[in-house]
A and B are shown apart, each in its own frame.
Chain A
Amino acid sequence: MQVTSQTFKSNAGAALRDAALQRALKNLKAGFPGKRAAAIAKLPEFDQLRAAGRDLKNHVLEHLDFYLERFEAKVIEQGGQVHWARDAAEARQIVLDICRSVAARRVTKGKSMISEEIGLNEFLEAHGIQPVETDLGEYIIQLRHEHPSHIIAPAIHLNRDQVADAFHAHHGPYGFTERNEEPRALMNEARQVLRQQFLSADVGITGANFCVAETGATVIVTNEGNGDLTQILPRVHIILASIEKMVPTLEDVGALLRLLTRSATGQEITVYTTFSSGPRRPEDLDGPEQFHVVLLDNGRSGMVGGEFQDMLRCIRCSACMNHCPVYGAIGGHAYGWVYPGPMGSVLTPQLIGIDAASQLPNASTFCGRCEEVCPMHIPLPKMMRHWREREFEQHLSPAGVRFGLSAWAFFAKRPKLYRIAAGFGAWLLRRLGGRKGRIKHLPLAGGWTAWRDLPAPQGQTFQQQWAAQRGARS
């Protein structure tokens, strides 16, 4: 996937002018936040649960090596295999090798952001293997040759008519020649097309919401049931998981699930919560012959013990982006890589480098709504600020910003001079405001006055007036 995070500003501008996208984003704002709030209102102990979830994940991160080894041992014990991938390239190669070992031609896929992170679909296609996304949203964007714009609702940027167009363009060969627009009919159409894919796939790939160290099980939550078909029907099941997905016990999964589903969709529990452990046993009715877990690091181990460690608590619920006024205005594609919204603004610079993603942690007002709703108490604004510090230290900030800052700091550190400058500034702006009391156009502040007036100062500064008044009194 081509990274366009550094053109965030123009991406955002284009998104703001994209009428179809803006229509679709209205649904997001109207949907997720309200559902989350209603679900949480019904759970008085939500805040205790949050604190417990945070502590649990902190504990795991403190002992990550232990839980990873434990998990690996358990998977092997049950006849599965664990593959360690240091980076995206290794992970892709591991998946390709497994596919080739069974001469796979078609791969069905459940929803997985790790698959996006490692660019798996393009890679498999380039090697003659056809990946088929089976999550409805993922399927739609695959037809449109797009990437997800949201971590749990990948096609949230689309409207129904765009979906109808995509189906109409691709489903002819499956016997659907009429253009459907009715949601149920569209769903049905997708279901029938996908069913054929499920039955002919050689390998099924899913993600993992959690990896349970105690049992070696991986867990996914879905609402469509496609994940189950993806992992049960093909001969081989591959799970893509990043290393921070470890949780100690099954009970811990329960606690985190309660946080996850409420924060994500406002559900008490998703329609399907699927645990998979190992390949099919002799007494099992179904299941894959091979069970592979690919554990991806891709820079995460470097976050442990550093100022971005808290980010590894993320359970990918999407609450931060659902409540972010910036995400809500432009959607996910403007962020220019896999992970959008506040969590992406922290994670992306870590995964692809701050020099390729420095726009993202800057594009925030630090309004704090993301941290307020994050079920894992991740201090997202604080970590965005840390990225700005790295950017500043590495002299990556734009020259204009650096110059402006140092000029401002020069005065701010010299109170007497500052008072003179402030007095002059107030006087000048007041003059520019004229009788109207506001400025319609101000050179050097075009970003402001292009869209709004600048209220003019009242006259003298507070300090000038105060000195005159109190000085006269004493």
Chain B
Amino acid sequence: MSETSSCSPKPRVGLFVTCLVDVFRPTVGFAAVKLLEDAGCAVEVPAAQTCCGQPAYNSGDRADARDLARRVIAAFEDFDYVVAPSGSCGGIIKRHYPPLFDGDPAWQARAERLSAKTYELVSFLTDVLGVERVIARYPDTVTYHDSCSGLRELGIKSQPRRLLATVADLDLREMAESEVCCGFGGAFCVKYPELSNRMVSEKAAHIQASEAGTLLAGDLGCLLNMAGKLQREGAAIRVRHIAEVLAGMADAPAIGEPDRGDAPCK
């Protein structure tokens, strides 16, 4: 992989930060930048990005969803690739933008072109860039939750596990039912809190039963949900986005952990 990147111009990657990473966990964005740059990409972060439009789209508000999709398309269509540290937002752009423009051929064509070059971070590293290993160390047992959109819309299953296997001192312990939804579901978790709570309680039980020291996943929404539940239950499990571990940037406090006084990310 290094061969191609050294003799051809670097692929220009537009990082779709995602609204949750932007606000809650910038470390994930910086970890994504590092992983992409280490793999030979030139990374840019368009300032015009806000959100992929999923809240509108999943609430049946097609007009606003289209409006936001058009903005994302305009902001990102000049890049060689668009990469998001999220299977959920990546899945929206890749799988849902084109049909969103049914009946609008001009925008649909642009949505399709964007869809074709949009990827979730980890699968982009492995499937497009051919990254086979990362240089990182994480001395802990970890368990990995398969977030729904990444798993079922983008086929992300083996890719994160393959890269995690190359992290020094990391020991992966699969939990039971890692493919079952954690109950986040965007607005679902506030519209149906009791149901969401049941789902995340079961998830938390499986996570704890795995006896792993760290929970990883590729979507911040799910991670906030699971971290919030584990911490409410007093479980001593660290929760991180997989990009932090793969990039060797797991020195910031884990999600929802107290600040140790050091700057969160510099």
Interface residues of A (CB under 8 A from B): 9, 12-13, 16, 325-326, 329-330, 362-369, 371-372, 385, 387-393, 397, 401, 405-406, 408-409, 411-413, 415, 418-419, 422, 425-426, 429, 435-438, 440, 445-448, 450-463, 465-467, 470
Taken residue by residue from 6 to 27, chain B's Cβ proximity to chain A (1 for < 8 Å, 0 otherwise) reads as 0000000000010101111111
Verify A462–B58 contact, CB threshold 8 A: no
B85 CB, min distance to chain A CBs, angstroms: 10
CB-CB under 8 A from B214, the residues of chain A are none
CB-CB under 8 A from B29, the residues of chain A are 462, 466
**Which residues of chain B from 9 to 49 have any CB-CB distance to chain A below 8 Å in the complex?**
17, 19, 21-27, 29-30, 45, 47-49
Known interface pairs A364-B185, A457-B24; 13 further A-B residue pairs with C-beta atoms within 8 A, sorted by A's residue number: A364-B188, A365-B186, A367-B180, A405-B59, A409-B56, A422-B22, A447-B189, A447-B190, A452-B197, A452-B225, A452-B231, A453-B231, A453-B256
Which of B61-69, B106-114, B126-134, B160-168 is found at the contact surface with chain A? B61-69
Q: Is B141 an interface residue (CB 8 A)?
A: no
Chain A contact residues: over half helix, strand or loop, or mixed?
helix
CB-CB under 8 A from A405, the residues of chain B are 55-56, 59, 61, 64
Known: A447-B191, A451-B193. A329 touches B198 (CB 8 A): yes
Verify B17–A413 contact, CB threshold 8 A: no
Verify B50–A451 contact, CB threshold 8 A: no
Interface residues of B (CB under 8 A from A): 17, 19, 21-27, 29-30, 45, 47-51, 53, 55-62, 64, 67-68, 71, 148-149, 152-153, 179-181, 183-200, 202, 224-225, 227-229, 231-232, 239, 252-253, 255-259, 264-265
CB-CB under 8 A from B61, the residues of chain A are 389, 392, 405, 409
A329 CB, min distance to chain B CBs, angstroms: 5
B66 CB, min distance to chain A CBs, angstroms: 11
Known: A392-B59, A405-B55. A458 touches B27 (CB 8 A): yes
Known: A329-B198, A447-B193. A426 touches B258 (CB 8 A): no
CB-CB under 8 A from B231, the residues of chain A are 438, 452-453, 455
Verify B257–A437 contact, CB threshold 8 A: yes
Verify B26–A462 contact, CB threshold 8 A: yes
- In the complex the two chains form, what is the Cα distance from A392 to B63 in whole Å? 10
CB-CB under 8 A from B53, the residues of chain A are 412
Find B180's partner among A369, A422, A448, A465 (CB 8 Å cutoff). Answer: A369
Chain B contact residues: over half helix, strand or loop, or mixed?
helix
Least CB separation from B75: chain A residue: A415
Find B148's partner among A368, A435, A451 (CB 8 Å cutoff). Answer: A368
Find A448's partner among B59, B71, B148, B193 (CB 8 Å cutoff). Answer: B193
- In the complex the two chains form, what is the Cα distance from A365 to B50 in whole Å? 22
Question: Which among B48, B49, B149, B198 has the highest number of chain A CB atoms within 10 Å?
Answer: B198
Verify A458–B185 contact, CB threshold 8 A: no
26 contacts between A and B (CB under 8 A): A9-B194, A16-B195, A325-B183, A326-B199, A363-B188, A365-B148, A365-B186, A366-B148, A367-B148, A368-B148, A369-B180, A406-B64, A408-B56, A413-B50, A415-B47, A437-B253, A447-B193, A448-B189, A452-B225, A453-B229, A454-B256, A455-B255, A460-B26, A462-B26, A462-B45, A466-B29
Verify A325–B180 contact, CB threshold 8 A: yes
Verify A372–B152 contact, CB threshold 8 A: yes
Verify B229–A451 contact, CB threshold 8 A: yes
CB-CB under 8 A from A450, the residues of chain B are 193, 197
- In the complex the two chains form, what is the Cα distance from A19 to B238 in whole Å? 32
The number of residue pairs between A and B whose CB atoms lie closer than 8 Å in the complex comes to: 210
Find A458's partner among B26, B50, B55, B180 (CB 8 Å cutoff). Answer: B26
- In the complex the two chains form, what is the Cα distance from A6 to B165 in whole Å? 48
Known: A422-B23, A453-B231, A463-B45. A393 touches B60 (CB 8 A): yes
Least CB separation from A406: chain B residue: B64
Verify A325–B199 contact, CB threshold 8 A: yes
CB-CB under 8 A from A425, the residues of chain B are 23
CB-CB under 8 A from B50, the residues of chain A are 411-413, 415, 418
Verify A437–B258 contact, CB threshold 8 A: yes
CB-CB under 8 A from A368, the residues of chain B are 148-149, 152-153
Verify B57–A366 contact, CB threshold 8 A: no
Verify B148–A422 contact, CB threshold 8 A: no
Least CB separation from A326: chain B residue: B195
B263 CB, min distance to chain A CBs, angstroms: 8
CB-CB under 8 A from B196, the residues of chain A are 365, 447, 451
Verify B228–A415 contact, CB threshold 8 A: no
Verify B192–A363 contact, CB threshold 8 A: yes
Least CB separation from B204: chain A residue: A452
B178 CB, min distance to chain A CBs, angstroms: 13
CB-CB under 8 A from A465, the residues of chain B are 26, 30, 265
A452 CB, min distance to chain B CBs, angstroms: 3
- In the complex the two chains form, what is the Cα distance from A169 to B231 in whole Å? 48
Known: A363-B195, A458-B27. A436 touches B232 (CB 8 A): no
CB-CB under 8 A from B25, the residues of chain A are 457-458
Verify A448–B228 contact, CB threshold 8 A: yes
CB-CB under 8 A from B199, the residues of chain A are 325-326, 329, 365
- In the complex the two chains form, what is the Cα distance from A446 to B229 in whole Å? 14
- In the complex the two chains form, what is the Cα distance from A362 to B187 in whole Å? 10
Verify B181–A369 contact, CB threshold 8 A: yes
- In the complex the two chains form, what is the Cα distance from A221 to B149 in whole Å? 35
- In the complex the two chains form, what is the Cα distance from A459 to B261 in whole Å? 12
CB-CB under 8 A from B239, the residues of chain A are 455
- In the complex the two chains form, what is the Cα distance from A263 to B30 in whole Å? 44
- In the complex the two chains form, what is the Cα distance from A456 to B228 in whole Å? 10
Verify A459–B264 contact, CB threshold 8 A: yes
Verify A461–B181 contact, CB threshold 8 A: no
CB-CB under 8 A from A413, the residues of chain B are 50, 64, 67-68, 71
